Amino acid sequence: MIVNIMEISKELIELLKTLKKKKCVALLAPSFVVDFKYPKIIKTLKKLGFSRVSELTFAAKIINAEYRKILKTTKEPVICANCPSVVKMIESKHPKYVKYLADVGSPMVIMGRFIKKHFGKDNVCVFIGPCITKKIEALENKKDVDYAITFKELKDMIDYAKANKMFINIKNKKTNDFDKYYNDYTKIYPLAGAVAQTMHAKDILSKDQTISSDGPENLEKSLKKINKNIKFVDMLFCEGGCVGGPGIISNKSIDKKERKVRKYRDYCRKVKIGKSLGKQKLSSEISLRRV
Ligand code: SF4
């Protein structure tokens, strides 16, 4: 019997049922460390019914390589298309810049595509992150992503499952590890300017050829700065980047949230977590296009 101690949305109830019936893969955004503890969160997700927990960081690594390739050949400025709010704002309010938007999928879409290719189309891909606009992006990419929920919603689901004794009993020690695939250095992807920082593109991209910005009020200003010397525009809509996203639970300062992400990245660089980082060449089997 389900005890309605607390209300959760119909979408979350449906997801909890899906977790019992189908193979579900969590596509976890690395900003999770702002709200949840590593590695405890992996075990909690498995207890909810996820068969695999992957981090979006592997998709970020694939995306970085694609941007490097594009920047080597193009003569036009390239606007990073990782943030769906930036893409939507440019399409609706600043259409003259649409031509500069990269035709490269976001980490959520690329990771979903990759998981379905490597583990099978029957896997249900559930993005979990700080972003509300990802819900629209997931609806536009139903083939790749089945659900997009926020950290706030994940917390609701966990509380609801606990209250209703819906957790699965797990004994396997490996449940503390990420399943394939993840990456270390892209764990800072949710921070402002991190795409340019993690792209390893010093040979093709200098600081003065890059515009990095965050926050809605800086979007238009950054677009106006685009000129023939600019090669790459790395913008995130939320203040501070995804760590300032509306689906984050913590109300700590952006600085504190940012520190948590960097600390997590530094820790993971020292301690090898999980067993398989994932090889770049695997990405050749999927499309990296945005649409
Ligand atoms: S910056 Fe905000 S809107 Fe953009 S992807 Fe991150 S959380 Fe979503």
Measured from the CA of 86, which atom of ligand 1 is nearest?
4
pLDDT band at 214 (very low <50, low <70, confident <90, very high): very high
Percentage of the chain lying above the pLDDT 70 cut: 95
pLDDT band at 178 (very low <50, low <70, confident <90, very high): confident
Name the one residue in this structure whose structure tokens are 């298309």.
81
Whether ligand 1 lies within 6 angstroms of the CB of 278 is answered as no
Determine the number of helices (DSSP H) and then strands (DSSP E) in the chain.
10, 7
Mean pLDDT of 175-198: 88
Sheet containing 232-236: give its strands across. 78-79, 232-236, 210-214
> What is the mean predicted confidence (pLDDT) over 24-37?
97
Summarize the confidence of residues 166-192 as an average pLDDT: 85
Nearest CA to ligand 1 atom 4: 83
pLDDT at position 42, please? 94
Mean pLDDT of the 118-133 span: 97
The DSSP output letter for 101 is B
- Ligand 1 centre to CA of 244 (Å) is 8
Mean pLDDT of 9-25: 96
Burial letters 187-199, b for 16+ CB under 10 A, else e:
bbbbbbbbbbbbb
Task: State the closest ligand 1 atom to the C-alpha of 85, by its place in the atom list counted from 1.
Answer: 3
Rounded CA gap, 232 and 113, in Å?
25
| pLDDT at residue number 181 | 78
- Does the beta carbon of 245 sit less than 6 angstroms from any atom of ligand 1? yes
Arithmetic mean of pLDDT, 118-130 = 97
Q: What's the 61 CA to ligand 1 centre distance in angstroms?
A: 18
Give the range among 69-83, 121-135, 161-175 with minimum mean pLDDT: 161-175
**Under DSSP, is residue 137 helix (H, G, I), strand (E, B) or coil?**
helix
